Structure 1
Amino acid sequence: MNLSLTEEKSSRRGSRRSEKKSSSPDSLRVLMRGAVAAESRALAFAFVALVVGIVVGAFVFAGEPAALSGARSVGVTAAFLAGVSAGVAFATNYLRLVRSTRPRPLSIGVRWRIGVDTVALTVSAVIVVSLLTGTVFAVLQLAFRDFALDPPAAAVVTGAVAAVAAYLLTGAASQLTTRAIANLLAMLLVSGGLASMLSARNTTWWQHNFSALGSGDGFSPYTFNITLVFAGLVIITLTHHLTHDIQQLSAPDATSRIRVLRAWLITVGALFAGVGMVSVDEAEPLHIVIATTMSVAFAGLIATSTWLVPWLPRSFTFVSVIVLAAFGVVALLMWPIGYFNLTAMELLSSILLLTWLLLFVRAIAATADDDQPGGLMSD
Structure 2
Amino acid sequence: MKKYQIEIPESAKEILDLENMDYSMQLEHNSILVRPSNVIDLIPQIHFWWYGALALISACAFLIYALTNHLHLVPLSGYNSIAAASIILSALCGTFLFAVTFIVQKIKEKGPAKAFTWRSLPPLIVACAMIIVFIMLALYWLFGELFKGLQLDIYTSTVLVFIAVAMVDYLMINLAMTISPGIITNLMTIMIVGGVGFSMLTNSTKDWWKYNFSFLGTAKNSTHLSFNITLVFSGLLLMILVDYLFVNLNRKYKGWKINILRGLLSALGVCMACIGLFPNNPQFHILHDRISMWLVYLLLILIITVRWLLPEVTKEFLKVSYIIGAVMSIDYIVFKAFTYLSLTAFELIAFILAFGWVLLVLQYIENLVKNNVRIFPVTIKVMPEDSAQRTKTI
For 1:226-265, what aligned pairs fall within 5 Å after superposition? 226-250=229-253, 254-265=254-265
Q: How many residues align?
A: 347
Written as runs of structure 1 = structure 2, the 5 A alignment for 1:298-309 is 298-309=299-310
- Contact (CA 8 Å) 2:215, 2:221: kept in 1 or not? no
User: CA shift at 1:118, angstroms?
Assistant: 0.8
Q: 1:25 to 1:36 in 2, by over 3 A?
A: closer
How far is the alpha carbon of 1:124 from its aligned partner?
Answer: 0.7
Question: How far apart are the structure 2 equivalents of 1:183 and 1:231?
Answer: 11
TM-score (norm 2): 0.79
Instruction: Determine the structure 1 residue equivalent to 2:97.
Output: 89
Change (3 A) 1:20 1:156: farther
Q: Is the 8 A contact 2:231 2:275 kept in 1?
A: yes
CA spacing shift, 1:236–1:35, aligned 2, 3 Å: farther
Residue pair 2:231, 2:273 contacting (<8 A) in 1 also: yes
Equivalence for 1:106: none
Using the TM superposition, give the Cα deviation of residue 101 of structure 1 relative to its aligned residue in structure 2, in angstroms: 4.5
User: Take 2:170 and 2:10, find their aligned partners in 1: how far apart are those partners?
Assistant: 33
- Are the equivalent residues in 2 in contact too, given 1:54–1:156 (CA < 8 A)? yes
Of Structure 1 and Structure 2, the greater strand share is in 2
**Residue 80 (structure 1) aligned with residue 88 (structure 2):** yes
Query: Distance in 2 between the 1:363 and 1:139 partners?
Result: 36
1:193 to 184, 193, 196: 196
Matched ranges for 1:1-379 at <5 A: 23=13, 26=17, 29=21, 39-41=44-46, 43-62=48-67, 63-101=71-109, 114-216=117-219, 220-250=223-253, 254-281=254-281, 282-372=283-373
CA 266–145 in structure 1, closer or farther in 2 if over 3 Å, else same? same
Taking structure 1 as reference, are residues 94 and 364 closer, same or farther at Cα in structure 2, changes over 3 Å only?
Answer: same
Identity of aligned residues (%): 22
The SS at the match of 1:338 is: coil
One-letter amino acid of the counterpart of residue 146, structure 1: G
- Cα separation, partners in 2 of 1:37 and 1:154, compared to 1, 3 Å: farther
Give the structure-1-normalised TM-score. 0.82
Question: 1:216 aligns to what SS in structure 2?
Answer: coil
Larger Rg belongs to: 2
Residues 96 and 330 of structure 1: is their aligned pair in 2 closer, same or farther, counting only changes over 3 Å?
farther
How big is the shift at 1:311? 0.7
* 8 Å CA contact 1:42, 1:168 repeated in 2: no
Distance 1:71 1:318, change over 3 A: same
Mapped partners of 1:167, 1:19: distance in 2: 38
Q: After superposing the two structures, state which structure 1 stretch, 119-128 or 292-301, moved more.
A: 292-301
TM-aligned CA distance change 1:341 to 1:98, over 3 Å:
farther
Contact in 1 for aligned 2:77/2:144 (Cα 8 Å): yes
| 1:182-216 CA-partner distances (Å, limit 9, x unpaired) | 11111111111111111111111111111111111
- Matches of 1:236 and 1:35 in 2, distance apart? 34
Q: Is the 8 A contact 1:197 1:213 kept in 2?
A: yes
Distance 2:152 2:79 in 1: 14
SS of residue matched to 2:57 = helix
The amino acid of 2:297's aligned partner reads: V
Q: Which has the higher contact order (CA 8 A, sep 6+)?
A: 2
Q: Which runs of 5+ in 1 are unaligned?
A: 1-16, 103-109, 375-379
Distance 2:314 2:280 in 1: 40
Q: Secondary structure at the match of 1:61?
A: helix
Instruction: Find the aligned partners of 2:59 and 2:133 in 1 and give their Cα distance.
Output: 17
Greater helix fraction, Structure 1 or Structure 2: 1
Whether the 8 Å contact between 2:204 and 2:222 is mirrored in structure 1 is no
Q: Which amino acid aligns with 1:223?
A: S
Q: Deviations over 1:276-312 (max 9, x none)?
A: 1112113211111111111211222222223111313
